[in-house]
Each structure stands twice: as structure tokens, then as C-alpha cells.
Structure 1
Amino acid sequence: MDALDRKILAELQRDGRSTLTELAARVRLSGSACHRRVRELERAGTIRGYRAVVEAAAVGLGFEALVFATLRQEDRATVADFEEALAAIPNVIEAQRLFGDPDYLVRVVAADLQGFQRLYDERLATLPGLGRLNSTLVMKQVVHERPLPV
């Protein structure tokens, strides 16, 4: 990956709807050279896809919480079952497995506090292998969906 690839990535993170012609002009490449580089970045998995970034509150999901989960035990089967069940919950918009305690950090969205309570009681608290849940409510997004510093 060279400086031109990094410029392309920065521009696509800023505006993924750019046409190849617009992108080529912004990174000062010919259209065909820019197209080849973008396709290679896609083929290599550097660019994983394109999507619309939707404002959660605009679709009725303006309530956000961070949930910390600790498993009862961490054998391979328990971890796999927990992660599969967690990934199947649509309101889970991010989940990371951590070193140390807790085992997972889970970002969830809901319509409101009551919706979060239902999600917590009916889905999160019933996850297989779960030992403990702890949650905190998000007051305000300070840095959100920032592009990678390429």
C-alpha cells in the first residue's frame, strides 16, 4: 500500500458515494488507474464494503448503552455459543472480546429506557454461558464513526 492507496482510502471514507471519476480527480490519477487501485483494495479486503451511515435517532433507536459481559467459564464451546447468540441480536451494533475482566464490551441501541430494559432482560441476560452483566448508559457521542487515520 502506497501513498496513493492511502489517499483513495481517505477519500472513500469521507465520501463513499463518489464516482470513480470524482475520486480520480481528487487523488490526481487517471480514471482507469484509480479504478484498478480501488478494485485491488476491494479484492485484497482492505475495502470491506460500502454502506449508508444511518442516524440511529432518526429510525427510533436514540437510546444507547454499553454493556459489559463476563462469562462463567471461557472454554471454546462456551465462547462460541455466547458469540453466536450475541451476534444474532439485531440491537447489538458492536461487540468486542476483551483481555481481562470483563470479557466483552457490547454496544447496543434501543428506542428508549424501557426498550433497553426489555432487551437486557429478555435477550442479553439469557445469553448462554453468561456469568455477569454490567451496563452504563451513553450520555453523548463525543467521537463517533471516525474514519481511520490512513
Structure 2
Amino acid sequence: MVSRHTLRKSLLGRDVAIAYAMLVVLYLLKFVPFQPVQIPPYLLIVTYDLVEVALPFLTPYHPIAFPLFLYVLAVSGAGITRKLRATDSDKSAWLQTLGGVCLLIGILSLGFGAFVGGPLVSPTDNPTPLAITGATGMIFVAMAWWLLGRPTIQFTTPA
């Protein structure tokens, strides 16, 4: 049985608030007139469009449903942070939560790249979307792994 405190912590806790703020900032990057910075907001919009296709009754309620969608992503990002954060890391909580959000965006990016497929689906397709989303996803996953304070491969030299 889940206690009320545990439920409140997982739905309204510090990590969720930090993750939501970071997702809103990522979404607001769409207004920056530099195209590489606009990739994460585009991925958020495309992911929400997929949700809208699956749940068409959300379409007229976009001003309410999109912030709720970002909230669900924030809860997911905070949950990822709680599961994967390194307890012995010296990184602050907001940096580790940023790592959870980056991991979530990286997974969405890699999923979108796999969905679009490019030349993997058809040899005549343009490989650019696959390359952009794949590279973005790998960058976000690597950044998330570093921000979460996960151990890295350490090479030992013989003494």
C-alpha cells in the first residue's frame, strides 16, 4: 500500500518541480532563433502530437492538455532521477534532476529517430531526420549519464 506521503512526494516533490521547470525552459527554447537549440522543443511538440493522435479528444483542449503532458513528463523525469541517481555523487539535486530530464528527452529523440527511420525504412528516404534525432538523442543520453553521476569506465594501469 502506498502512503499518502509517498504519493505526494512522487507527484508534487522537489524533483517534479525542478523537472517541470526544466521542461518548460526546454519548450521555451523554440523562441530562440538558432535552429540547433530548437530541436528539444520540436521533440516535445512531436511527442505531444503523437499523444493527440492516440487521444483525439485532447485536440480542443490543447492549452490545458499540453502543460499536463509536460507535467506527466516531469513526473517521469523525476522518477527516472530517483531510480538512477548516484547516491555517492557530489552533484546537487537539480543537476541530477536535469540528468533525468535529459535522459527522458534523449529516449524520446532516439524513439522518434527509430520511428522516422529514414533510409532504414526505405532506401529512398532522406537520412537527415534520422541523423539529427539520433545525434541529439545520443548527446542527451550521454549528458544525462554524466549529470546523474553514474560511474564511468575507469581504466586501471598496472602498478
Give the structure with the higher percent strand: 1
* TM-score with structure 1 setting the length: 0.24
* TM-score with structure 2 setting the length: 0.23
**Comparing both chains, which one has the higher relative contact order based on Cα–Cα distances under 8 Å and sequence gaps of 6 or more?**
1
Report which of the two structures shows the higher radius of gyration computed on alpha carbons. 1
